[in-house]
Structure 1
Amino acid sequence: MKLKIDNETIAREFFEDSILLGIVAPVKDYQLCWQLNQILGFDFRINNDFEIQLTKKERKYFFSIYEYLLPSTCLTHYLYNNQFDGEYLLPEFKHLDFLWLMKGEYVSKEELKALIYSIKTLPGVQLVNEMTNEKIKHKQHLIF
């Protein structure tokens, strides 16, 4: 008997009640995190346990993930690097430099609008937009 991993169900459960933002900011990941931490008061830290590794054409690509757990809540923010050495975590969104995932707790429309607005004020950030799950073809790449 063979067991088959149901990637659709895993992806659906992983993204349940989550929000995903796409960010265009041609800066290094540590520079963006520094700005988020210093200017906006976040506390993003790299989480090497969550690093995503993809293998394409017998080469390995590593996509770092920064994590921030909002104190006294269940809300966790994850910042993914969408690009590594010419490859993309989400190839259908090559124009995006970073992906910001929020999960674990409800985020109101007002809170989301305020967050998007504040990210847009950072130096180097050109675009921030909310992404709908239906448009994401390679959802499983975001699951750690």
Structure 2
Amino acid sequence: MIKKHKIFTGESDNFTIIGVVSRLVDYKLCFHINNALNIGLKRGSDISVMAVKAHEVQHFPLFRYYSEQYKNNWILIPNKNPNKDILFADLQPIDYFFFIDEFPSLLDIKDLMRTFKNIPEVTLVQQIKPQASKRINHILQDIEIYLLSQNQKKEM
């Protein structure tokens, strides 16, 4: 049986995006998120994105969890990579972006954000609307490409 793959259509409606401000380093934040939400974010290979001004590929750490229960991906990406490149310059106060593909209707976004706010060293949590940055749709396309490439690697 052939596996079906979703293709991103350029619409950001499929993703819920939460911005997180925290002094924690990425792996420590993931540890706290995993404990708070009872999930298993794990470091994957870096995601490649095209820089706006430099016209070069930049790489950002990506932490991913696939929920068997909800059949969706939960992804954490820092706004700044180890080279100090910035993913969303226009959303620079935000340190991390938490992307949820196909947000489950059984969950409440406000409860999820409250859970994030209770994590030590998290100072701000806010839902990010797709209109907040010109780059969001481009990054969402990069995430879709990343997920498709990871699925293809699993199938090999």
TM over 0.5: yes
Q: Cα gap change, 1:75/1:26 in structure 2, threshold over 3 Å: closer, same or farther?
A: same
Deviation at 1:39, TM superposition (A): 3.6
Matched positions, count = 132
Gap change, CA 1:16 and 1:59, over 3 Å in 2: closer
Which ranges of structure 2 fall in alignment gaps of 5 or more residues? 1-7, 144-156
- Aligned-residue CA RMSD in angstroms? 2.3
Q: Secondary structure at the match of 2:108?
A: helix
Matched, 1:11 2:10: yes
C-alpha separation in 2, matches of 1:29 and 1:119: 14
Identical amino acids, percent of aligned pairs: 18
Find the aligned partners of 1:104 and 1:58 in 2 and give their Cα distance.
31
Matched, 1:93 2:91: yes
Q: TM-score, normalised by structure 1?
A: 0.79
Residue equivalent to 1:104: 102
Q: 1:26 to 1:11 in 2, by over 3 A?
A: farther
Preserved contact between residue 74 and residue 105 of structure 1 (Cα < 8 Å): no
Helix, strand or coil at the partner of 1:99: strand
Distance of aligned partners of 1:58 and 1:134 in 2 relative to their CA distance in 1, 3 Å threshold: closer
Q: Can you give the 5+ residue segments of structure 1 that lack an aligned partner in the other structure?
A: 1-8
Check the 8 A contact 1:53/1:60 in 2, yes or no. Answer: yes
Q: Which residue of 1 aligns with 2:48?
A: 52
Match for 1:116: what amino acid? Answer: M
- Secondary structure at the aligned position of 1:137 is classed as coil
Q: Deviations over 1:66-101 (max 9, x none)?
A: 111122222221111110233211111111110011
TM-score, normalising length from structure 2?
0.73
Matches within 5 A, 1:7-86: 10-12=9-11, 15-48=12-45, 51-55=47-51, 57=54, 61-84=58-81, 85-86=83-84
Q: CA contact under 8 A between 2:36 and 2:115: conserved in structure 1?
A: no
